Structure 1
Amino acid sequence: MNKKMMVVGTLCLGFALAGCTNTDKSLEANKESKMSTKVSQSTKQDVSGTSNSTTKKTSQRKVSVEDAIKAYNEAYPNTSITSLDLDPSFGIYYYEIKGVDDSKEYEVKINAETGELKKEREETLDQDEQNGVEKKNEALELKGILSIEDVSKIAEDSVGEGTANEWSLERDLALTYWEVKVQTGNKEMTVKINAQTGDVLEKELDD
């Protein structure tokens, strides 16, 4: 009897240990499964956040340079544009466009997402800038200018890394050029590009 009871006891003990082992393995499997689910959800959130950020930046520049110039010309016909800037003010992209006629200087601000135009300033030119002098010296050559997308790629390729985030269309002597700011980590590079040909004229690391 004693031997039979010992055998039965041993078998029971074995089943009990096996049950504990299976339970431990089941708990570990559930734990790993939950961890995997958390990682998967975290990854989805990160990807979603990146996508939303990119979409937001793109959506803030729905209005093209051509559209902005057209809007300015409709507001102030018979004038010449002397400068054009596109940069984020308070997190929103605006075109700031200045122009002149024979006696006055004008400035407008255009929301790059909605196209809403606001007249900012209108003032009389200095005496020595009137009668077409300022227009002759400062008017931009807008025929055949490259788009913001084109000059952004040229600037980024020239720097080798980073993202273009500010653009200015300016004139030096008789040359109209794009000035593009490229952000690379904590540094910012300014690249000047011929507005018609796309040739890189100058690169400078901002302080």
Structure 2
Amino acid sequence: MKRYLLLLVLLTTVLLVACGNNATDKQTGTAKENDSENAVKNTNEEQINNRKFKVTLPKAVDQLKETYSSASLTGVELEKDWGNFVYEVSGVDDERSYKVEINAETGELMSKKAKKLDKEDRGGVEKQQDSFTLDDLMTMDEVMELTLKEAGKGYVTQLTLEKELDFRFYEITVMDGDKESTYKIDAKTGKVLEVEED
């Protein structure tokens, strides 16, 4: 009788352990599936490429000039911020620097700021050094396509356009899984100037 009871307890223990492992495997499988779904969802939520925004880069620059008529363009950044894709457009005139934030999907002017320039930057000094136009530059879509071709895979999460020493360039951030790379691209020729990997 003791043997029978011992055998019964042993079989019950084995069955409980097996059922527990099976439940754990199912939970792990579900967790892995959810992680994969979340990764795809996050990719879709954060990527800038393959999106058609209501506001294009030229329209965002026009919004700066409509808001501050004397401003000349000094930079543009596009990225997801607090759940919205936002253009941050910077400009300058002889006395002040300006910044507007525009919802890329709705066109809403989210914020605007004007700040007096430091004394050494007034009188057109900063305007001369940092301002530029979009004339003869690659479009945002063209530069993202070129960058992704260079990267081989991934998606764009941030785009910046600025000027440095009479040289206009895009900086494009590409995510591929956990790997982040930033490409510096000549805005006129599309030449890859530099790649930084984090």
Same-fold status (TM-score > 0.5): yes
Question: Normalization by structure 2: what TM-score?
Answer: 0.73
Q: Can you list the C-alpha shifts for 1:114-160, whole angstroms capped at 9, x where unaligned?
A: 11113431110000000000001111242122222111111111111
CA contact (8 A) 1:60 1:92 kept: no
| Aligned-pair CA distance for 1:179 | 0.3
Aligned to 2:186: 194
Q: Which amino acid aligns with 2:149?
A: D
Q: Can you list the C-alpha shifts for 1:79-103, whole angstroms capped at 9, x where unaligned?
A: 2111110000022100001111000
Percent of matched pairs sharing the same residue: 35
Aligned to 1:183: 175
Aligned to 1:150: 142
**Residues 59 and 191 (structure 1 numbering): CA distance in 2 closer, same or farther, change over 3 Å?**
closer
CA contact (8 A) 1:165 1:183 kept: yes
CA–CA distance in 2 between the matches of 1:186 and 1:83? Answer: 28
SS in 1 for 2:53: coil
| Aligned-pair CA distance for 1:60 | 7.0
Aligned to 1:163: 155
CA–CA distance in 1 between the matches of 2:138 and 2:51? Answer: 20
| Greater helix content | 1
CA–CA distance in 2 between the matches of 1:198 and 1:102? Answer: 31
Aligned to 1:138: 130
**Residues 113 and 165 (structure 1 numbering): CA distance in 2 closer, same or farther, change over 3 Å?**
same
CA contact (8 A) 1:60 1:93 kept: no
Aligned residues: 156
Corresponding position: 1:125 with 2:123: no
CA RMSD of aligned residues (A): 2.1
Unaligned runs of at least 5 residues, structure 2: 1-36
Corresponding position: 1:172 with 2:164: yes
CA–CA distance in 2 between the matches of 1:59 and 1:190? Answer: 20
CA contact (8 A) 2:58 2:134 kept: no
Q: Give the number of the structure with larger relative contact order, counting CA–CA contacts within 8 Å between residues 6 or more apart.
A: 2
CA–CA distance in 1 between the matches of 2:135 and 2:98? Answer: 21
Alignment partner of 2:196 out of 183, 201, 204: 204
CA–CA distance in 2 between the matches of 1:71 and 1:103? Answer: 20
Larger Rg: 1 or 2?
Answer: 1
CA contact (8 A) 2:64 2:71 kept: no
